[in-house]
Amino acid sequence: MFTTADREALRDSLVAAAQADADVAAAARWTDVMYGTHGAAHHLDVVADGVLYRVFLLAGSLQVDVSFWPYERFRETQRGDRLLFGDTNPPAIARGRRAAGGARRGRPGDR
């Protein structure tokens, strides 16, 4: 079983690796790092709306999800996201405005 310290050390290691790698967007590179450096036991790919989510399962039961977005679609999708490096495109829908069909982005109670 993993500990909070294990999880934080892994997160810090992955962020440092991403910041040091000019080819950070390559799924194959992340796969090599997760198996070679972090001992991934298995991974699976989920593709939704043109975005690749690669889910790694580590031996200690920790799960790491890495998403790979096409540049033109990379944008904030919810409040609270924290960008560590790079740039995003503007949100597709202004916060708090109603989308088609009456759907609403944001947290309940936001106006």
Q: Is the pTM of this model over 0.85?
A: no
pLDDT grade for 26, boundaries at 50, 70 and 90 = confident
Residues paired with residue 52 on neighbouring β-strands, in sequence order: 47, 68
For the stretch 1-24, pLDDT in tens is 778 998 899 888 888 888 787 776
Say what the pLDDT of residue 102 is.
37
Q: Contact at 8 Å (CB) between 56 and 63?
A: yes
Closest CA to 34 of 43, 26, 45: 43
For the stretch 50-105, pLDDT in tens is 889 999 999 888 999 988 888 888 877 777 777 776 778 887 665 554 444 433 33
